[in-house]
């Protein structure tokens, strides 16, 4: 399987911690989650799940500023900047990845620093373990954009 686009994310395997994979988001300036990033995340999860040596996966931000992710890229959601087909593909890709992450055989964790709204919160909720800095802000702010929050997200949010 090919390596992910390093402008979007990288995977590292710490030698002193066998079985661990660290996935670092690199989509500057704020790790906004566009279709390409969701596709890369899905591809990486497939790659890691197929590797019997990998037992755990940690997500983190490679940004120097206090942002895990700004959430979904607004350009993927704004009617004037996308097409109906791309919008549908975006939501299907994102939701399929999150459903797979929730059910993966891997033990998953996320290290959150600073802002982690909307899709970032959803990604964190799908992980087994969440660790954050004191300045973490999380929430399902899609409602402010007129997007309803699926019941599954409110149930997952209630458990953390």
Model confidence pLDDT, tens digit, residues 29-43 = 999 999 999 999 999
- Whether 123 shows a pLDDT value over 80: the answer reads yes
Question: What average pLDDT does this structure show over 105-127?
Answer: 97
Measured CA to CA, the distance from residue 108 to residue 48 in angstroms comes to 11
Q: Which residue has the higher pLDDT, 146 or 61?
A: 61
Measured CA to CA, the distance from residue 140 to residue 118 in angstroms comes to 5
Domains observed in the chain: 9-158 (3.90.226.10)
Q: At a CB cut-off of 8 Å and minimum separation 6, what does 99 contact?
A: none
Task: Quick: pLDDT tens for 71-110.
Answer: 999 999 887 889 999 999 999 999 999 999 999 999 999 9
Question: What average pLDDT does this structure show over 120-139?
Answer: 96
């Amino acid at each position: 399987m090919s390596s992910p686009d390093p402008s979007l994310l990288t995977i590292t395997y710490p030698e002193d911690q066998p079985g661990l994979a660290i996935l670092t988001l690199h989509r500057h300036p704020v790790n906004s989650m566009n279709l390409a990033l969701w596709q890369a995340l899905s591809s990486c999860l497939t790659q890691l799940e197929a590797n019997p040596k990998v037992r755990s996966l940690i997500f983190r931000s490679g940004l120097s500023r206090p942002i895990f992710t700004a959430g979904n890229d607004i350009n993927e959601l704004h009617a004037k900047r996308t097409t109906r087909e791309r919008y549908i593909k975006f939501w299907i890709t994102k939701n399929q990845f999150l459903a797979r992450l929730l059910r993966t055989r891997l033990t998953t964790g996320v290290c959150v620093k600073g802002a982690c709204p909307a899709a970032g919160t959803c990604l964190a909720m799908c992980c087994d373990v969440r660790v954050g800095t004191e300045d973490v802000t999380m929430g399902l702010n899609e409602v402010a954009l007129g997007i309803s929050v699926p019941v599954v997200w409110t149930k997952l949010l209630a458990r953390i």
